[in-house]
Structure 1
Amino acid sequence: MWCQRLAWLLRGRRGSAGRRWPWLPRGPGPVLAVPARCHPTAPASPCCAWQLHQDHLELRYGSTVMRLDFVWLRDHCRSASCYNAKTSQRSLDTASVDLAIQPQAVRVDETTLFLTWPDGHVTRYGLEWLARNSYEGQKQQVMHPRILWNAEIYQQAQVPSIDCRSFLETDEGLKEFLQNFLLYGIAFVENVPPTKEDTEILAKRISIIRETIYGRMWYFTSDFSRGDTAYTKLALDRHTDTTYFQEPCGIQVFHCLKHEGTGGRTLLVDGFHAAEQVLHQAPEHFELLAKVPLKHEYVENVGGCHNHMIGVGPVLNIYPWNNELYLIRYNNYDR
C-alpha cells in the first residue's frame, strides 16, 4: 500500500526527454470538469489560469504550467493540523489520503490557491510556493549554482583566501569562505597554526566531523602505515576520495603541517567542468557515465587495520528531475 501511495505521489515526475518513469503507474486520462479560467490579478502579478481534471489540477502561473495531482496537493497541505511549522515536519498521515480524492471547491486570488476537500478541510497554497516546489518548477531550478573552472578561469577569478582569524571569529569571514566553496568547490584558509587540534577547530567551524575508518581527524604521510597509495611516495593522479563509502564525503579538509624535501604538490581539478565538456562534446558518453554503476573497493590488511569496503554507483550522479550533476564518484585506484 505504501509503495502504491508513494508511486502516486511521484507519478507526475518525467525524465529529461519528457518520458514518464517506467516503474510508475499511469493514471487515467484527464477529464475536463471545469473550464479553464483566468483570474484577475494585481498589475505586478503574473496571470494565473487553472483547469480542473479528474485526478489533477493544471495551473498556469507566469511562464510555469504545473500539473498538480490531488493526492500530492492534499499531502502537501501546510495547515496547522497537517504540518508542524515549529519542526518543519509533516503531521498528516499520507496513508490516510484517499487516492481518489478530489477538491469540492477551487479558488485562486492574486497570491494564493484555495482548495476545499470533501471533509471540509481548506488548504491554502502560495502560488510562488507551488511554482518553486512543483515538479515543473523543480525542473527549472538549479539546486546548487556553481562556477565551472579550469586553471585559466580560476586564476583570472583571483578568488581570495580567508585569514584564519577572520574565518573563526567573524560571520563575514565564514560567509566568504562558504561562498567560495559552494561556487568553486574549493576554498582556502591561511595562517592556520600547524597542529591537528587547530585544524579540528577550523573543521568544526564548517560542519560536524564525520567518523571514518581512519578516525575523525588523522595524520598521513608516506610511511605506508595504512593500505592506501596516499601513504606512499607515489604521485596521485586525479580522483575523488572515499568512493568506496555508501555516501562519499562531501567536504574534505587538508592541512599540510610539515614539509621537508621535494614533491607533495596538490593537483586540483573541477570535475563538474570536465563533465560539462563531456556533455557538450559526447552526450552519449555523459549518459553512459551517469547510468552505468561502477564498484569501488578498499581492501586493507596492514598492521592491525583490516578493512574491506565497497561502494557502488555511477561516475556522474544527477538529479533525475532536472539532470543537474551533484556528485562525482571516480577513483581509478579503487576500481
Structure 2
Amino acid sequence: MWYHRLSQIYCSIQHQLKGGVRHSALQFPCFQNRLLAAHRWQHTALGPLNCVWQQHEDHLELRYAGTVMRFDYVWLRDHCRSASCYNSKTNQRSLDTASVDLGIKPQTIRMNETMLFLTWPDGHVTRYSLEWLLKNSYEGQKQTIQPRILWNAEIYRQAQVLPVDFQSFLETKDGLKEFLQNFLLYGIAFVENVPPTREDTEKLAGRISLIRETIYGRMWNFTSDFSRGDTAYTKLALDRHTDTTYFQEPCGYNNYDRAVINTVPYDVVHRWYAAHRTLTTELRRPENELWIKLKPGKVLFIDNWRVLHGRESFTGYRQLCGCYLTRDDVLSTARFLGLQA
C-alpha cells in the first residue's frame, strides 16, 4: 500500500514537471532502487502505454509495438546515428567500433513517445527512433523477414499460385513484385506467354538479376546429345537434385550426381549412408513431389538453395534453354521492391 501511494505521488510530480510525460526512475536517484524493485518496467507516457523498458546489467530490454527487444549496450553505442558516428550521405559508420569500451553502459536513459535517448559516460548522446529499433532489432527482424512456406504438392495446388504474364513481368513493378513474392514464398515461380526463344528467355532473366557466367556459358541451350557426356543431355530420367554442387560456390545439395566420397573416414562413412538413406526416402515421397509439364512459352524459376528438381525420362525431341542467376541480385531486386528478402 505504501508503495502504491508513493508511486502516485511520484507520478503526479512527474506529470506536473514534465507536461504529462513520465520518465524513468533514473531521473530521481532517491527513488531509484525501490521503484526498480517494485515496478519492473519503466513507462514512457501516462495513459495508454506504447513503450516500456527495463535496464539490465548488460543490456536494455524494450517492449514496443507488441515486441520485446533486447539490445546490448555496445551494440547501442556502435550503431549510433549521430553526425560524428555515422555519415548519413554514404550510409557508412564513422565510429571506430574497436574504440568502444566493451563494458560501456549508458549514464542515463530516457524516452518520449517516439524516441530513445542514451547519454554515455563521456557525455555523448545517442538518439534512436523506436520504429528504427523495432525494424533493426534481432526480434523485429524475425517478424519482418519475408515468410517462406514449407509446402508439399497438395499445399501448393490449394494455394492456386498463378503464373505472371510475360509483359507484366517485363513492363510493370507490380508484375515483377508479384513474381518475386511467389518465388520467395515457395522457392519456385512461373512466367507464361514468353516467346519461346533464347533471346526472350535471357531478357526475362535479366529483369531480376545479372546472369551468372559459368562453364556452360552465359545461356545454355540444349537437346538430347549424349556426346556431351552429361546425363542432363540425354533422354534418361534425372533424380531429384540441385545444380552446380561441384562449384566452389554451389547452389545446393545434389543427391546422386556427386564426386567420390574420400573425405569421410571408414568408421563414419556408414553413418553418412544411413543419413543419406533417410533423406532420400523423404525426398521421394509422392506427396512431396510437384509434377509440372512445361510447354513452350512457360518459364520456371527454381531456388536451388531450397527446392530440388528433376525430370522423367522422355521420347522424341525436346529442347530447353536456361541460365543461372546470382542470388544476391535476385534478393536485392526483391528488397528494392519493398519485399523483406
Alignment TM-score, normalising by the size of structure 1: 0.59
For residues 169-193 of structure 1, what are the alpha-carbon distances to aligned partners after superposition, in whole Å with 9 as ceiling and x for unaligned? 2222222222222222222122222
Q: Does 1:217 align with 2:210?
A: no
Distance 1:44 1:197 in 2: 60
1:57 pairs with 2:60:
yes
Alignment partner of 1:141: what SS? Answer: helix
What percentage of residue pairs aligned between the two structures are identical?
71
- Segments of 5+ residues of structure 1 without an aligned counterpart are 1-31, 251-270, 272-293, 300-313, 317-325
Structure 1 residues 61-85: Cα deviation after superposition (integer angstroms, max 9, x where no partner):
3554433221111111122322233
Q: Is the 8 A contact 2:43 2:49 kept in 1?
A: no
1:153 deviation in Å? Answer: 2.7
Normalised TM-score (structure 2): 0.58
Q: 1:142 Cα deviation (Å)?
A: 5.9
Q: Which moved more, 1:101-110 or 1:33-42?
A: 33-42
Which residue number in structure 1 is paired with residue 157 of structure 2?
A: 155
User: Larger RCO: Structure 1 or Structure 2 (Cα < 8 Å, ≥ 6 residues apart)?
Assistant: 2
Once the two structures are overlaid, the 10-residue window that deviates more, 238-247 or 203-212, is: 238-247
Which amino acid counterpart does residue 94 of structure 2 have in structure 1? S
Bigger helix share:
2
Q: Hey, what's the Cα distance between the residues in 1 that align with 2:257 and 2:74?
A: 40
Larger radius of gyration: 2
- Which of the numbers 69, 72, 92 marks the counterpart of 1:66? 69
- The CA distance in 2 between the partners of 1:137 and 1:122, in whole Å, is 24
1:109 deviates by: 1.8
The CA RMSD measured in Å over matched residues stands at 3.6
**After the TM superposition, which residues 1-335 of structure 1 pair with which residues of structure 2 at under 5 Å, given as runs?**
35=36, 36=40, 38-41=42-45, 45-53=49-57, 55-61=58-64, 63-138=66-141, 140-141=142-143, 143-224=145-226, 226-249=228-251, 297=258, 327-328=305-306
1:81-117, Cα deviation, whole Å (9 max, x unpaired) = 2223333332322112122222222112222211112
In 2: Cα distance, 1:168 partner to 1:42 partner: 52
Q: CA–CA distance in 1 between the matches of 2:46 and 2:209?
A: 44
Separation in structure 2 between the aligned mates of residue 228 and residue 85 of structure 1, nearest angstrom = 52
Q: Is the 8 A contact 1:48 1:61 kept in 2?
A: yes
Using the alignment, how far apart are the partners of 1:330 and 1:179 within structure 2?
19
**Pair 1:246–1:110, CA change in 2 (3 A):** farther
Between stretches 196-205 and 149-158, larger displacement belongs to: 149-158
Distance 2:203 2:55 in 1: 56
CA distance in 2, matches of 1:113, 1:65: 15
Count, aligned residues = 234
Is the alpha carbon distance of 1:202 and 1:42 closer, same or farther for their aligned partners in structure 2, counting shifts above 3 Å?
A: farther
Q: Against the structure 1 CA distance between its residues 81 and 190, is the aligned structure 2 distance closer, same or farther, given a 3 Å change threshold? A: same
Q: Which amino acid aligns with 1:122?
A: V
- Matched residue SS, 1:206: coil
> 1:58, CA displacement in angstroms?
3.1
